[in-house]
Amino acid sequence: RGKRAFIAGVADDNGYGWAIAKALAAAGAEILVGTWVPALNIFETSLRRGKFDESRKLPDGSLMEIVKVYPLDAVYDSPEDVPEDVKGNKRYAGSSNWTVKEAAESVKNDFGSIDILVHSLANGPEVTKPLLETSRRGYLAAISASSYSFVSLLQHFLPIMNPGGATISLTYIASERAIPGYGGGMSSAKAALESDTRVLAFEAGRKGKIRVNTISAGPLGSRAAKAIGFIEKMIEYSYVNAPLQKELLAEEVGNTAAFLVSPLASAITGSIVYVDNGLNTMGLAV
């Protein structure tokens, strides 16, 4: 049987989540995605109307099939956690079972188990503010959406993951080096995500023979990155300063993710793997 993957954080065809889905589909995996509730409608409509058909093309000419799209809001673990104003919000009211616990239950009911869990989501409401000007609420929201969301996903999906399975998340160098502009506690959130990668690798390894790794990716002009505001500058900076002077393609991150969740990487867990044209190794801008 082919492997089954659940990829949380796909809402268009531009981001790393989409590229990872494609690389896994090309390798023969069955693709399920979790899409942020407020973005669900437009994503499903675009998918249905063929808007993504060009970017669904796999190397063999066939189109990636997304077997099922699950609504998801990874800042809520179970229905009791959802505040009234969100419950009543019309962007949420049309969907159901979108907390992490319910999404895992739905996948279990539909398919029984998965082999691969991908976390490709982040959100920091105050990302454009320097850390020194970030509110407690903004900082905790960044951690909740970008770091704890992974802990929660693994907590709830681990019981339905087949032994030998693997998880991947996406991180950014701002966790370990100061990157002015990546604010709002997002740098802190990525540091937490990386630390948790090591601890969860131990715990999920012992508990379920599951591997946990994270990819530290270079800059990509995704929807989320454009919201930060300086992504074009970062892409240019990378182009000028990285050992490899080429555009970083989402596909390159997708291919690394496919390797890391495959048996080819069966002894790799708890690692941060850099997919950034080598930029992280430089100590001097040139």
**Contacting positions for ligand NAI (CB under 6 A):** 9-11, 14-17, 36, 39, 72-75, 120-123, 145, 170-172, 217, 219-220, 222-225
Smallest gap from residue 239 Cβ to ligand NAI (A): 13
**Residue among 70, 92, 148, 182 flagged as catalytic:** 182
Reading the block at residue 36, the tokens are: 């942020």
Nearer to ligand NAI, 144 or 262 (CB): 144
Identity of the residue numbered 122: A
Least distance from C-beta 209 to ligand NAI, angstroms? 25
Of 76, 58, 56, 74, nearest to 66 (Cα)? Answer: 56
Q: How far apart are CA 10 and CA 6, in angstroms?
A: 10
| DSSP letter, residue 281 | G
Nearer to ligand NAI, 221 or 270 (CB): 221
Q: How many residues does the chain have?
A: 286
Closer CB to ligand NAI, residue 22 or residue 208? Answer: 22
- Give the active site residue among 92, 172, 239, 274: 172
Q: What is the DSSP letter of 63?
A: B
- How many other β-carbons are positioned within 10 Å of the β-carbon of residue 227? 12
Active-site residue flag, 274: no
Q: Output the CA torsion sign for 129, 135, 136, 138.
A: negative
Least distance between ligand NAI and beta carbon 98 (Å): 9
Q: Which two tokens stand for residue 44?
A: 């499903």
In angstroms, give the least distance from the CB of 163 to ligand NAI.
Answer: 26
Tell me if 122 sits within 8 A of 224, measured CB to CB. yes
Task: Say if residues 248 and 236 touch (Cβ distance below 8 Å).
Answer: no
Which of 106, 222 has the CB closer to ligand NAI?
A: 222
Strand segments (E) across the chain: 4-8, 30-36, 66-72, 114-119, 161-171, 211-217, 272-275
Q: Which is nearer to ligand NAI, 29 or 224 (CB)?
A: 224
Least spacing, CB of residue 112 vs ligand NAI, in Å: 23
Q: Which residue is nearest to ligand NAI (CB)?
A: 15
Say if residues 103 and 67 touch (Cβ distance below 8 Å): no
**Residues designated catalytic:** 172, 182
